[in-house]
């Protein structure tokens, strides 16, 4: 229980610190992402000791990230009429753009990533399962 | 923050907010169970299945979107600490990252450029509004990052989140076909492509494929979000300011 509270306090504290930092520096950057970088630096500095203290709070939030998006997604659907004129460009950008991006990236990696020992057989086997 | 305070403006507003958040939680739990039973199929993502009953109830009760937004602000406020928490999985996977530095960095940097550029090029013939372009740009990063990035650049954060989720679903569906078609056998490549282009929905798919693609997808998802948060607002400032 104490670890959970400590974890939440640290995560909220770092978010506020990040918000304050980007406001202070006047840079266009999400404060929470600055907080994430600070936490990463702290983890590199303190290692497993810090990780064990904050893991529970961090996992609880990350596992349930989806819950946090019901607000915007439901509001978006209620307001869908506003975006109806953009239906065609949105369908093209998402429906065609996403597969194209995947194809481009997959080809790039196929020809730049050297094969890993025995990676081939496992891929075929796991693909079918 | 003002939204959270608005929640306490009156008892009526307070109980309305409690009811809305409870409804979200119930819809979420039911949606998660269904998703698990359907082996994390992209189309059965809780934000699809659980949104339907929520929207139907709100339409039936005639709740305006603005009231719903104010009531669910508390959930939105948890987003900040959750973004900070992304450092934890990145740190846990540090060996994966350091061991496969080159493929991971290639995938993240190339993907963070390719995905938004393709989307923007494809909508240019439609003479798109600035708000649409800026909402599309973070389409391949996790909604946690797309939301604040769209806020900063002047996109519509809600639309950006909707675009991100549909991108994840489309990516999760087409990825196995693309891998089969291009004869991609390397599990690391599969994980990276899923994580970079289809963020959390793709990562769930990669986890179903095995431990290794899951780890690579998770790392790719977090790093693509980070790179996009660093570079997209700057790019907008430089080229579209």
Chain position carrying tokens 């519509």: B156
What is d(CA B132, CA B123) in angstroms, rounded to the nearest whole number?
Answer: 9
What is d(CA B111, CA B141) in angstroms, rounded to the nearest whole number?
Answer: 10
Judge: A32–B79 Cβ closer than 8 Å, yes or no.
Answer: yes
The ipTM, to two decimals, is 0.85
Closest CA to B199 of B163, B230, B233, B158: B163
Each of the 241 residues of chain B gets a pLDDT tens digit; together they read 455 566 667 888 888 889 999 999 999 999 999 998 998 888 888 888 998 999 999 999 988 888 888 888 888 888 889 989 988 988 988 888 888 889 999 999 999 999 999 999 999 998 888 899 999 999 888 888 898 899 888 899 999 988 998 898 899 889 999 999 999 989 999 999 999 998 888 888 888 788 888 888 888 988 999 899 888 888 888 876 5
Residue A92: CB partners within 8 Å, gap ≥ 6? B122, B123, B126
Same domain? For B111 and B206 the reply is yes
Opening angle at CA B134, ends B126 and B199, nearest 5 = 105
The structural domain count of chain B equals 2
pTM above 0.90, yes or no: no
Same domain? For B6 and B59 the reply is yes
Last residue of a domain, one of B53, B75, B97: B75
What is d(CA B54, CA B143) in angstroms, rounded to the nearest whole number?
Answer: 20
Host domain of residue B64: 2-75
Host domain of residue A16: 2-63
Last residue of a domain, one of B54, B75, B96: B75
With a CB-CB cutoff of 8 Å, which residues 96-125 of chain B face chain A? 102-103, 106-107, 110-111, 114-115, 118-120, 122-123
Judge: B55–A33 Cβ closer than 8 Å, yes or no.
Answer: no
Judge: B193–A124 Cβ closer than 8 Å, yes or no.
Answer: no
- The answer to whether B51 touches A70, Cβ cutoff 8 Å, is yes
Closest CA to A58 of B162, B169, B88: B88
What is the per-residue pLDDT across A74-85, written as a single tens digit (0 to 9) for each?
A: 988 898 888 889
- Please give the residue of chain A at the shortest CA–CA distance from B84: A36
CA atoms within 13 A on the CB side of A72: 26
What is d(CA B104, CA A107) in angstroms, rounded to the nearest whole number?
Answer: 14
Same domain? For B39 and B124 the reply is no
List alpha helices for A1-129, DSSP H.
Answer: 2-25, 31-46, 48-63, 70-78, 80-83, 87-95, 97-112, 119-128
Judge: B161–A108 Cβ closer than 8 Å, yes or no.
Answer: no
DSSP A44-58: HHHTHHHHHHHHHHH
Same domain? For B200 and B161 the reply is yes
Position B49 in a domain:
yes
Kind and range of the H or E run holding A114? none
């Amino acid at each position: 229980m104490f670890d959970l509270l400590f974890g939440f306090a640290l995560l909220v504290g770092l978010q506020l610190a990040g918000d304050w930092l980007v406001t202070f520096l006047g840079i266009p950057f999400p404060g929470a992402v600055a907080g994430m970088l600070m936490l990463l630096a702290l983890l590199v500095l303190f290692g497993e000791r810090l990780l064990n203290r904050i893991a529970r709070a961090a996992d609880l939030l990350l596992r349930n990230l989806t819950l946090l998006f019901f607000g915007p997604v439901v509001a978006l659907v209620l307001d869908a009429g506003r975006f109806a004129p953009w239906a065609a460009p949105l369908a093209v950008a998402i429906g065609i753009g996403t597969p194209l991006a995947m194809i481009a990236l997959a080809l790039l990696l196929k020809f730049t990533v050297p094969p890993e020992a025995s990676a081939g057989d496992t891929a075929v086997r796991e693909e079918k399962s | 923050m003002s939204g959270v305070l608005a929640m306490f403006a009156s008892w009526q507003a307070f109980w309305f907010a409690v009811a809305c958040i409870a409804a979200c939680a119930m819809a979420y739990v039911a949606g998660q169970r269904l998703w698990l039973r359907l082996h994390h199929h992209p189309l059965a993502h809780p934000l699809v299945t659980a949104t339907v009953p929520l929207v139907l109830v709100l339409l039936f009760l005639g709740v305006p979107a603005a009231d719903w937004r104010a009531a669910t602000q508390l959930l939105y406020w948890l987003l900040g600490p959750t973004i900070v928490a992304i450092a934890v999985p990145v740190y846990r996977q540090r060996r994966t990252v350091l061991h496969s530095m080159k493929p991971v960095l290639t995938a993240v940097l190339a993907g963070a450029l390719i995905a938004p550029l393709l989307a923007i090029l494809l909508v240019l013939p439609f003479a798109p509004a600035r708000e649409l372009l800026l909402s599309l740009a973070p389409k391949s990063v996790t909604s946690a990052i797309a939301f604040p990035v769209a806020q900063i650049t002047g996109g519509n954060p809600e639309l950006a989140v909707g675009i991100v989720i549909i991108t994840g679903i489309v990516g999760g569906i087409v990825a196995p076909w693309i891998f089969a078609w291009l004869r991609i056998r390397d599990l690391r490549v599969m994980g990276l492509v899923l994580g970079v282009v289809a963020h959390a929905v793709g990562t769930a798919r990669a986890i179903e494929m095995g431990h290794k693609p899951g780890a690579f997808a998770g790392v790719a998802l977090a790093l693509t979000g980070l790179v996009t948060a660093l570079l997209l607002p700057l790019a907008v400032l430089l080229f579209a300011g």
